[in-house]
Amino acid sequence: MPKASETVTELLDRLSVVVPDYPQPGISFKDLTPVFADPTGLRRIVDEIVAPFAGDFDVVAGLEARGFVLAAAGAYATGTGMVTVRKKGKLPREVHSEDYSLEYGTATLELHRDDVAPGTRVLILDDVLATGGTVGSAVRLFERAGCTVAGIGVVLELAGLGGRERLAGYRVHALQKV
């Protein structure tokens, strides 16, 4: 049960589950799905992830897949719309595409061309910021569409992997740095 004075970091530590050796040996994965499953936890992280950007955005963008949870809830909470940024081949209409580097290869993110109009102010939400590759790709998608990136909100920032530095010049808000 949450305490009235519980910080968002304490809430995340209490509700998330650390899974050792996942997805590979030597990696400790912080599973946020129990936070999303808890009504108080979900409400709290959504409120806190969008608060620094209040009034500065027209639409919330969620990155596949856990970013969808945050973006849908954030859009509902703020009375804005929500758009999805998906992996290649998942969207049925004409898309903007952006490749980005992975440790061993590349991947592609896509955005429907007609989901946002030029001039739209976009808040990008995702669960984790690591190297900044995925979020950086989303930033480029929206800028190519003529949008302004109002900010980037994440639940967890994996410090030391260069993500924040890669996104220099953008407002980045992380609820917890690990």
> Rounded to whole angstroms, what are the CA distances from 51 to 3, 54, 83?
21, 5, 19
Helix extents (H) in 4-115: 8-15, 33-37, 39-50, 66-78
Which residues are tagged catalytic?
A: 66, 103
8 Å CB contact between 151 and 57: yes
Tell me the C-alpha distance between 124 and 120, whole Å. Answer: 12
